[in-house]
Amino acid sequence: MQTWDHKLPIYQQLADQLAARLLDGDPAEGEALPSVRALASRYLINPLTVSRALQALGDEGLVETRRGLGIYVRPGARERLRSAERERFLNDEWPQLRARLRRLGIGPRQLNWEE
């Protein structure tokens, strides 16, 4: 059974996982997400927690609720996610990665971009 780490609240971890799937186009923009119950059963998470995760995605402008129909991926959601991820990489991950590369004495020439 899936276990959740202790760094973040479970709803936040689920929201991150669902966002990562949206970034890969699953489901595509304009399409519906699985229902709260289907997600709850798939991830074995309380439905209230699933609703909170979907709420978080809604707050970020990634999904929207269509009354009586379900929750849909908003147009432009992927681009939005991609630019947020890009920003996070450049601000948080890249400085750490660069520092590590410098420590190891790896320069641009040793890095293979073509593979």
Partner 1 sequence: MEPLIQAQGLTLRYGRKVAVDDVSFTIPKGRVVGLLGHNGAGKTTLMKALVGLLPSQGSLNVLGVDPARDRVALLERLAYIPDVAILPRWARVDELITLMSGLHPRFSADRARALIKRTSVSLADRVKSLSKGMVVQVHLALVAAIDAQVMILDEPTLGLDVLSRKAFYEMLIDEWCDGERSVLVSTHQVEEIESLLSDVIMLNEGKLVLSISLEEMDRRFVALSHDPAQAAAIAAAHPLLRYRVQGGSAALFDGPPPDSVQALGQRMRPSLVDLFVALTRAPEMNRTQG
Contacting residues toward partner 1, per CB under 8 A = 1-10, 37-38, 40-41, 43-49
Q: How far is the CB of 36 from partner 1 (least distance, A)?
A: 9
DSSP at 55: H
Ordered DSSP codes for 75-102: TTHHHHHHHHHHHHIIIIIHHHHHHHHH
Q: How far is the CB of 29 from partner 1 (least distance, A)?
A: 27
Q: Which two tokens stand for residue 84?
A: 């947020």
Closest to partner 1 by CB, 13 vs 63, is: 13
Longest CA–CA separation in the chain, Å: 58
Q: How far is the CB of 33 from partner 1 (least distance, A)?
A: 16
